[in-house]
Structure 1
């Protein structure tokens, strides 16, 4: 079969429809076309074919019936050598990093949602995009100089194989494109939406440099960040030679104001959004090694039509979540105090997730397809995020290794060795993904072997293995090794812990989640209840509104009888309970009288001086 070509046009921007023309030469009597059901890096079946609005075909310029034979497959009759043209439109109006989005200002072309592929065909492919007036385009191609072609009103991209096709998004629209300053001139930044302020670029470059120097070698020649900077944009998704970041413009607005006024302080809240951006970029870039190349066995080559199960996502995502913040710390682009507080916030979120004692990290990884990406009202009670708990297990492994081998590099050395024994000797810089996916991937026993070696124990103790194989409570007393102490901030006496969270629906307070074994659960409060009012027993009813619920709880006392007035399926009733006392938030502080050895270990771990703020 000759090269398969796609031409993308935008006939109705207001309708959010992307038109795709597929051209190919028939290789047999039946031509089947299929579309992926999911995107690598986002482990849930999204059934992208549901976005196909209309489809028609011609064979040698004559109309030919094309019919749907499965949820993600189409079929038409053909003869070898006939020229097939298939025209179809795709609805694209979900602003996320794992779906396509199109309006009058841009088109984010997420390949799994857009491209029907002939059955049995593995490449090469050509994608042409007809640009609207004023638009430019860019992709996540491994070798932009060879693969991308730019001309007035048109953008073309050559892709050698199927995995490259699905792994190379295109951004077309009103874009601001630049390169990062030295030493990261090989990194492009393409922003749609609000422009990034100038002060972000050198800071991002220092983070990128820190991530690249963490690993034994850089597995790409060029890297591209596609940034969606718009209200409602969220998340990130990794690709072989780039990543897509969704960020809110409000993230950097406070810091920009403080810089303009000359009053920026790295310890104040104005930097929080900038830290979020830097950690997001650090996370997705780290994935260029950990998960895109150094990956669990099941994650490549991919079966795009069904779940690809693995029990190691806690390594792929959890370890990456640990290092995304730690490498920002080592770059100097976050204060020590702010990083330690973010670490404490992670511990708090885990503490407030009862599912940590129900589901192991291996189970969480395996069930990602039906749990993490498809939460329901009891999810925090029944499951735990392999991102969150996986990152804290990475911290504990790092502390454990540094305690046993004080002169070693802890978990850093483990990942470096896992890289060397895995994809480290494969050339992955070119457009083809053949070498990348010739590495079969690893299982957890490969990690365990290196952990045993680096610890000096030869084997991983059962208590360590239980961190990921069982729903074990985590113990953070090992922070003392670094001269750090985990404690709870004192809480104001008399504050209550409701034991549930609420959603704001037009100002009304609706119960979102009820924590297991809380007084609220024992009293029968349920997700989906609307909270109308609350009172102390025999006191006055106080109207509950989402925006002022905390003020209502201030009128209640821990352990004292109280009542909630709730509406459930349009029936109003009262629920009697006694709230528990609120707990203080975890905090991590440096121990003032930590010895020199602990201070030295802190500096080796953090890349910062003990005296740094």
Structure 2
């Protein structure tokens, strides 16, 4: 299928898909051919040649006397304006072999003054940031995220294109989910790929070099795993466990929309995270990710999260998330569903695949709740607002973010658990969250070929649950009010209990760092003693009640009682001052899910249904 149908982007999808499945139809002529090279990878530069040969571009040029070429400012799946054009240099244009005038007209746009049918654009991109959202090349390998490398022309975004990759001299492999039409296995100098439109190009990262690969089949779909980095692993075990995770994820919707799937995995120091794509993903993990059982299970959790995105967000999506505007923010209040509920599913998938015991899964759910309830911002910002403000807050935290925001990942994961329970209880065990995902997939992605509005999602959830979900949406999603968790857990015979140790110790409410023997305030908790009595981020705490702190503030606070006043000596911007601070009650909670006394048969049945216990 073409990307239009896969992405569900409207009425053009059906016509495009009909052409794609007709084996006798001639291959479409590429409107753009990109030639990607890296002749000096140690300098961190990709070189791009963009060849335009299409009547749409020519018509635009003849009408206006120019063609505008643009670079995206962000990449789908990572909701921050990243200004990829900042890494572009050496932009030039040619008509045939003749240079033509070009001029930068906006931060991410260049105007080429020509009315020729065929144009060639050349530019270089500095790529020295190895994350899943950016691009990187050095003497060891190249990795690229399409939005940060490939420019586009508006009139040609929906036209077929070709990419010719010219790896550095001794590099043999190019791994990408794009369709290969050339010699991608290393027999020659070129590796040629095609895409039906620009969206799919942007949605298909590439790993270039001499990385190792292995394959496995899950849900009758071939999967490729490209492994970069010096790392030891058991290929047979990895392939087996990838398959278990992927097939458990596919069982949610019950249909796999891909013809193949590609994992690109970077094993690098201090790494963690992933970015989803239409039929691939990039994962970054540490070099010792497979060395311990805890690390290994953590990696499989990342696999489950990014893999489930091929349904949730890439096909089951809010209407705002496609077609994409690559020049501006694409706002939605539903990242709690797209990202947060995928975080819910990462653990739910591992439970159904047998990697988590029921007891371990209950601990995960309780810990998730503990995490958001210990964040003051959970009482300030709703998860819908958190989703909408991702562009300005989530990726740009500051020292006050814990007080003023809540993560749409963390709270969205909790809401996914609660919505799953609400549907389970409302349908008396007949349905769960899987049925909602399946309905959205069939109704909006396949039938209507578009995303859904916030209200359409709410209607779908209530339809599947068989009841109104006012408390879930009005309190859980659209407000920052406390959630009555036990209303969700009681039907499965559980109660959420705070098991934090009862203590009379007072609470100061600061996070600190130690540098050169100095204790410096790094964060102040809203509502705490430090917050009320005026300690600031950046303050150096010199002494407590005339006793020098050194590097051990906690030792001096041990045993202090609620209501006790401490006399702190503080260095603030070079001025030493005395500050009295009166300790408050420790507000931190620690939740555990415990069985209710004498659960009913119905509660036991729903509990077993919830946790896949047979």
Task: Decide: shared fold, TM above 0.5.
Answer: yes
Q: Deviations over 1:324-346 (max 9, x none)?
A: 11111111012333332222221
Map of 2:233 onto structure 1: 197
Q: Answer with 154-163 or 297-306: which moved more.
A: 154-163
Q: Determine whether 1:401 maps to 2:423.
A: yes
Map of 2:582 onto structure 1: 578
Distance 1:170 1:64 in 2: 31
Map of 2:274 onto structure 1: 236
Map of 1:85 onto structure 2: 120
Distance 2:171 2:514 in 1: 39
CA shift, 1:592, in A, is 8.2
Distance 1:502 1:184 in 2: 52
CA shift, 1:408, in A, is 1.4
State which of 40, 44, 61 in structure 1 corresponds to 2:97.
Answer: 61
Map of 1:607 onto structure 2: 612
State which of 570, 573, 589 in structure 2 corresponds to 1:566.
Answer: 570
Distance 1:237 1:567 in 2: 43
CA contact (8 A) 2:499 2:590 kept: yes
Distance 1:172 1:54 in 2: 23
CA contact (8 A) 2:181 2:193 kept: no
CA shift, 1:211, in A, is 0.3
CA shift, 1:501, in A, is 2.4
CA contact (8 A) 1:95 1:233 kept: no
CA contact (8 A) 1:532 1:567 kept: yes
Q: Answer with 371-380 or 27-36: which moved more.
A: 371-380
Map of 1:449 onto structure 2: 459
Quick one: structure 1 residues 147 and 360, their matched pair in 2 at CA, closer, same or farther if it must change by over 3 Å?
farther
Q: Determine whether 1:353 maps to 2:351.
A: no
CA contact (8 A) 2:378 2:405 kept: yes
CA shift, 1:185, in A, is 5.7
CA shift, 1:45, in A, is 0.8
CA contact (8 A) 1:372 1:385 kept: yes
CA RMSD of aligned residues (A): 2.6
CA shift, 1:407, in A, is 2.8
CA contact (8 A) 1:149 1:157 kept: no
State which of 14, 36, 53 in structure 2 corresponds to 1:8.
Answer: 36
The two structures have a TM-score, normalised by structure 2, of 0.86
Distance 1:226 1:496 in 2: 49
Distance 1:89 1:507 in 2: 46
CA shift, 1:440, in A, is 2.5
Aligned partner of residue 587 in structure 1, secondary structure: strand
Quick one: structure 1 residues 37 and 571, their matched pair in 2 at CA, closer, same or farther if it must change by over 3 Å?
same
Distance 1:597 1:35 in 2: 57
Q: Deviations over 1:531-570 (max 9, x none)?
A: 34342x35x22213xxx55445436544322244433333
Q: Determine whether 1:99 maps to 2:146.
A: no
Quick one: structure 1 residues 569 and 179, their matched pair in 2 at CA, closer, same or farther if it must change by over 3 Å?
same
Aligned partner of residue 11 in structure 1, secondary structure: coil
Distance 1:371 1:133 in 2: 43
CA shift, 1:245, in A, is 1.0
CA shift, 1:146, in A, is 8.4
CA shift, 1:419, in A, is 1.7
CA shift, 1:279, in A, is 1.5
Quick one: structure 1 residues 101 and 79, their matched pair in 2 at CA, closer, same or farther if it must change by over 3 Å?
same
Map of 2:548 onto structure 1: 541
Distance 1:288 1:33 in 2: 30
Q: Deviations over 1:41-83 (max 9, x none)?
A: 11111111011133233332233332211100112222322x4
Map of 1:280 onto structure 2: 302
CA shift, 1:241, in A, is 0.4
Map of 1:266 onto structure 2: none
Aligned partner of residue 35 in structure 2, secondary structure: strand
CA contact (8 A) 1:147 1:159 kept: no
State which of 71, 77, 83 in structure 2 corresponds to 1:41.
Answer: 77
Q: Deviations over 1:395-448 (max 9, x none)?
A: 2222222223223122222222122211134xxxxxxxxxxxx82210122222
CA shift, 1:214, in A, is 1.1
State which of 159, 166, 171 in structure 1 corresponds to 2:202.
Answer: 166
State which of 232, 250, 261 in structure 2 corresponds to 1:212.
Answer: 250
CA contact (8 A) 1:142 1:223 kept: no
Distance 1:511 1:15 in 2: 40
Query: What pairs up with 1:4-403 in 2 under 5 angstroms?
Result: 4-25=32-53, 27=58, 28=61, 29-81=65-117, 83-122=118-157, 123-141=159-177, 143=179, 150-180=186-216, 186-195=222-231, 197-198=233-234, 199-253=237-291, 255=292, 271-403=293-425
CA shift, 1:589, in A, is 4.2
Q: Determine whether 1:416 maps to 2:416.
A: no
Aligned partner of residue 563 in structure 2, secondary structure: coil
Q: Answer with 166-175 or 153-162: which moved more.
A: 153-162
